[in-house]
Amino acid sequence: MFGWQGKLLRVDLTTQQIREEAIPQEVLHQFIGGKGLGTYYLYQEVPPRINPLDPMNRFYLAAGPAQGTRIPITGRIAAVSKSPLTNLYIDSQMGGNLGPQLKRAGYDLLIIQGKSEKPAWIQISPNGHAVNDATDLWGKTTHETELALRKADPNTQVLSTGPAGEHLVRFACLTHNYFRNFGRGGLGAVFGAKQLKAIAIQTEKVWIPTPDSEKELSLLKKLVQRSRKAKRRGHSLHYHGTPWLVDYANSIGMFPTRNFQATHFEGHKEISDESIEKKYHDDKRRTPCEGCVISCAWTFKKPDFKWAPAGQTGKIAIPEYETLGLMGGNLGIADTHAIIHANHLCNALGLDTISIGNVIGFLMELSQKGLLPDELKGAKIEFGDANSVLELLPKIANREGIGDRLAQGTRQFASELDGEAHQVAVHTKGLEYPAWDPRGKLGLGLSYATAAAGPSHLRGWPSTTEPPNASATTVLDSLLEQQNLKVLKDSLIICHFTHSISPRLGIKGCAEILETVTGAKATKESVNEAANRIWLLARMFNNREYDDAPRRYDVLPHRFMNEPIPDGPTKGYTAFISHKDFEESLTEFYKRRGCDTDGRPTKITIQNLGLAKMMSSI
Ligand code: SF4
């Protein structure tokens, strides 16, 4: 077998048993790896309607067939579970070194189940695997945990939860390499509920063999050349990282501003890549994921900030666009230094900056509009108040005072409030929104409404530059193609930012990578079918959780459907030209995905995608 290792490692924290299992070849061919493989096992193993914090929930850490090979831009990894924030399917992707490391350890997949009696960490090493006592690590930040577990061997790759995960904050994240995160859906709380502090993987650096090393080398060269070509054309992601998107999103009227009340932030220049460059040019350095030739990520070389992790340099990150958008514009904060500090605190405490920027933005709007109930009046906080945000973060992570209410996420917090509060709560299926307002792009609302994980900027956008000025049905072809492309990249795994090399990596390119690393015949049609299968299975997982038709949950927040953007380039737009268009587009979308009008896959679709034998529980 090439590309895949064909094995998974199962760790039962209840019994402390660790065992290897073979992964059936058919499963690897049908679900590819990464997100696909995690989704397959989640669907098979996690019973419907359990509490995500119950020991019966499981955590799947999955690499893809490209990880650990010489194919570049493949340093990422996927995690899949049932989300404590949404009570539904969640998958999250992360950069760094963990994906190749898991493959080198000999596994495509790590499954963690049960619950430890006392705090534990999992060690995977060439000398043997173990569940170790983590009592001394409990209560520590992710940075302290990583430092402690890397002490003996700096090449050890660590994934840990912080105080937020230990306190079961519903949007707690998992952190690796001090600043990379499985950000979305509360995976840090899944660890916390299992009393699992961390996973540490040690391996020797070896390449995962592919069937034809010349073919592999030739594909490697092609991808490097395409990346060089993009650089010659001024590749923004390479030269400026994701912060360049602040100006871009603002210029096209999609930048989240004051809890999505607007899409054009007057302070955007202050937090743009230009401003970061001016302030920190000499202090920053590239910190790419393993084997990346795009290299979008930056950290500080010698941080002069007082919150630097002890004894470490270079591990305070320049915030990504999503953080600048949601902890900047969405909170009315135009202070780069404060956002860098807040981002670093979130990384240390294990908080998802996207959800944090939403939940605090929600609190700020409630304060602004006098919608806080009497007992919460003391929690009043103004847009732009960076100091109060910095004070609030540890309170959320430790569930103190108002922090305890916010730690539940926007949906749950809103459900405890009366009246107008619901109308300003921005979430779908309980997941808070990314930093791209759907009122700025035709059809984007359909992507947010239908993604199994909830609204994410990484689940496929229609390829259009138009705002919602026509029926969303006009961009359905491109939305479906882009959704499938994202599924494929997250299953192979290759970074989404390969959309920016020249020419960009599309579905055919994914087929070429799959065939090169595994030797198994792959065509544009066959990988597209696999993407359809994976996309639908994630939906089928959710469908088991609902009391009524899945369609009822594929919705957008009140704000995006009913409140036109007040100013800026997209002034006057809502996410769809009308409610009727949303409903018609959704029906057409279901049809194209092989579902009935309620959003359930039809028997024939299930049959055609080879999912029939998994359907007994639906
Ligand atoms: S482009 Fe950025 S996120 Fe993607 S693999 Fe490279 S460094 Fe990581």
User: What's residue 307's pLDDT?
Assistant: 63
CATH of domain 216-423: 1.10.569.10
Cβ-count burial 517-546 (b if 16+ within 10 Å, e if not): bbebebeeeebbbbbbbbbbbbbbbbbbbb
Amino acid identity, position 235: H
Counting ligand 1 atoms within 8 A of each CB, the residue from 93, 244, 294, 457 with the most, and so the one to mutate, is: 294
Which ranges constitute the DSSP H helices of 493-572?
A: 507-518, 524-543, 558-562
User: What's residue 155's pLDDT?
Assistant: 86
Q: Which of these CATH numbers, 3.40.640.10, 1.10.10.1100, 3.40.50.12280, 3.60.9.10, describes 7-201?
A: 3.60.9.10
Q: What percent of the chain has pLDDT over 70?
A: 97
Residue range(s) in the chain whose domain bears CATH number 1.10.599.10:
438-617
Task: Answer whether 223 contacts ligand 1 (Cβ < 6 A).
Answer: no
User: What's residue 191's pLDDT?
Assistant: 98
Task: Answer whether 188 contacts ligand 1 (Cβ < 6 A).
Answer: no
3-34 per-position pLDDT tens digit: 999 999 999 999 999 999 999 999 999 999 99
Give the whole-angstrom CA distance, residue 445 versus residue 7: 39
Give the whole-angstrom CA distance, residue 198 versus residue 188: 10
331-341 per-position pLDDT tens digit: 999 999 999 99
Task: Answer whether 95 contacts ligand 1 (Cβ < 6 A).
Answer: yes
User: What's residue 306's pLDDT?
Assistant: 65
Across residues 195-204, what is the average pLDDT? Answer: 96
CB neighbour list of residue 304: distance below 8 Å, 6 or more residues apart: 283
Task: Answer whether residue 296 shows pLDDT above 90.
Answer: yes
Please, which pLDDT band fits residue 618 given cuts at 50, 70 and 90? very low
Across residues 177-206, what is the average pLDDT? Answer: 96
Across residues 356-373, what is the average pLDDT? Answer: 97
In the DSSP assignment, the letter for residue 210 is -
User: What's residue 309's pLDDT?
Assistant: 61
Tokens 């107008």 belong to 420
In the DSSP assignment, the letter for residue 127 is T
DSSP 405-419: HHTT-HHHHHHTS-G
Smallest CA separation from ligand 1 atom 3, residue: 95
Cα 492 to ligand 1 centre (Å): 15
Task: Answer whether 296 contacts ligand 1 (Cβ < 6 A).
Answer: yes
Give the whole-angstrom CA distance, residue 170 versus residue 355: 10
Structure tokens at 300: 């500080």
91: β partners: 80
In the DSSP assignment, the letter for residue 500 is G
Cα 292 to ligand 1 centre (Å): 6
144-184 per-position pLDDT tens digit: 999 999 988 888 999 999 999 999 999 999 999 999 999 99
Give the whole-angstrom CA distance, residue 405 versus residue 366: 14
Of 478, 427, 506, nearest in space to 589 by CA: 478
567-581 per-position pLDDT tens digit: 999 999 999 999 999
The angle that helices 507-518 and 524-543 make with each other, rounded to 10 degrees, is 100
User: What's residue 3's pLDDT?
Assistant: 96
Task: Answer whether residue 617 shows pLDDT above 60.
Answer: no
Give the whole-angstrom CA distance, residue 282 versus residue 225: 28
29-49 per-position pLDDT tens digit: 999 999 999 999 999 999 999
More confident: 154 or 125: 125
The angle that helices 336-349 and 386-397 make with each other, rounded to 10 degrees, is 0
Q: What is the pTM of this model?
A: 0.97
CATH of domain 438-617: 1.10.599.10
| Burial of 232 (C-beta count, 10 Å sphere; 0-12/13-18/19+) | exposed
Cα 134 to ligand 1 centre (Å): 31
Task: Answer whether 94 contacts ligand 1 (Cβ < 6 A).
Answer: no
HSE of 519, CA atoms in CB hemisphere, 13 A = 10
Cα 98 to ligand 1 centre (Å): 13
Residue range(s) in the chain whose domain bears CATH number 3.60.9.10:
7-201
**How do 109-113 and 196-201 pair as beta strands?**
unpaired
Amino acid identity, position 587: T
Mean pLDDT, all residues of the chain: 95
Across residues 189-216, what is the average pLDDT? Answer: 96
User: What's residue 204's pLDDT?
Assistant: 86
322-331 per-position pLDDT tens digit: 999 999 999 9
Residue range(s) in the chain whose domain bears CATH number 1.10.569.10:
216-423
* Phi/psi at 315 (5° precision): -120, 20
